[in-house]
Structure 1
Amino acid sequence: MNSKNNLSLSKPVLIIVRLGNLMESLLLIIGGCAVVLFLAAVLIDVTARQLFRPIVWMQEFALLAYVWAIFTGAAIGIRRGTHFKIDIIVGHLKGLPHRIVEVFDHLVTLAFICVLTYYAAEYAGMSLHHFSQPSGICMVYFTSCMLVGGICMAYFCIEHFALLFSGTDIKSVCEQLKEAGK
């Protein structure tokens, strides 16, 4: 990919990338907090179980933090291009064959994300009126991470399409925006 000057990119593409940067920052905060809460919950749970009385809902809280960390991390992985792809094939291709494989990769990824997001929305809707037995936590807090992650993954996949067709990639544009102070 060539590294175009950010001024040569269309305004809509720059807006898409800036919004993507904002979303990624928010996901990093949410995911980071989820990991910290997960580790703290596991530590508290193990300590309480070994030294005191077990806290019944602590394992459930750890699971809640864990699934949020997974889906925020998956969305960030899509944005950074670290999701599953066969690098041994993609890495050796240049020019048009590389671009065709990239488009195919993003199409397959987007199709999977659309299916995931559709069923995540249904699942989140069904879980609105269901509560966990030990903690009383509404199950939508568990299931909504799939919906939020799916929406963010879809956005990042579309962002990759916009950049692919403008002849650049996310890393180049983000570096140029940093240098420009935007």
Structure 2
Amino acid sequence: MQETMKSVARYTGWLGSIALYLSGAALVLMTALIAAQVFWRYVLNDSIVWTEPGSVMVMGWFIFLGAAVGVREGYHLSFDVLLLVLPMNIKKILHSISDVVVVAFGFGMIYYGGQLLWKTAGNIIPSLGISGAFDFAPLVGGGFLLVVFGLERLLRRAAGLPTARFGETPPEDTDTGEVEDEAIGTP
């Protein structure tokens, strides 16, 4: 199972890299749209009507894509004071519970985001001239990535592979000498 998960990690790594680059590009695009709006409004004394809703839509993409990559790479905030004193087997259980919650949240994003997407598909965003469903597509896409990356973490842990903080050397448990389940590393 470890070899299978290492193969899966290559594909999810590519998926994570693509999501991260798209997220970065979306952040740059949103910044450019806001800068253009400020320039048009205060220098040219005019306004571009579609920059605000366009920027908000682009912001949804970089937030949800970036958040999903943060789950895969283990960079989200967590309260780990208790984990510092618990034995390794309990830590793995608690990390797994956390990943199950992330997967469930991802499914909720897909389900409820899909409902919103479907209900607004017939609406047109006036300033952009596109379907209102585009506002909720990032919610569904981000939810899908949360599910994929959360399941990857669960399966890697079940296979005995490290699961977080890509490229870092996992810390060692001083009591048992075991290596903590804290680093995925690129296979």
Normalised-by-shorter TM-score class:
0.7 to 0.9
Which residue of the other structure, out of 25, 31, 36, is the alignment partner of 1:44?
Answer: 36
**Conserved 8 A contact 1:71-1:145:** yes
Candidates 42, 58, 63, aligned match of 2:56 = 63
Measured against aligned partners, the alpha-carbon deviations of 1:122-161 in whole angstroms (never above 9, x if no partner) come to: 1122222221122212222221111111001100000000
Gaps of 5+ in 1: 1-7, 178-182
Aligned to 2:185: 174
After TM superposition, which residue ranges in structure 1, 4 or more long, deviate above 4 angstroms? Answer: none
TM-score, normalised by the number of residues in structure 2 = 0.83
Pairwise CA distance, 1:84: 4.1
Length-normalised TM-score, structure 1 = 0.85
Question: Are 1:26 and 2:18 matched, yes or no?
Answer: yes
Distance in 1 separating the partners of 2:77 and 2:114: 24
1:121 is matched with which residue?
A: 114
- Cα offset for 1:30? 1.1
- Greater displacement, 90-99 / 18-27: 90-99
State the identity as a percent.
Answer: 23
Q: Is contact 1:85-1:105 (8 Å) kept?
A: no
Equivalents in 2 of 1:78, 1:173: separation in Å?
A: 12
Aligned partner (choices 147, 157, 160) of residue 164 of structure 1: 157
Following TM superposition, by how much is the alpha carbon of 1:29 offset from its aligned partner in structure 2, in angstroms? 1.8
Please state if 1:149 is matched with 2:142. Answer: yes
* SS state at 1:129 partner: coil
Q: How does 1:73-152 map to 2 (within 5 A)?
A: 73-152=66-145
CA distance in 2, matches of 1:148, 1:97: 32
- Give the count of matched residue pairs: 168
Structure-1 residue corresponding to 2:170 = none
How far apart, CA to CA, are the structure 2 residues paired with 1:90 and 1:69? 31
CA RMSD of aligned residues (A): 1.7
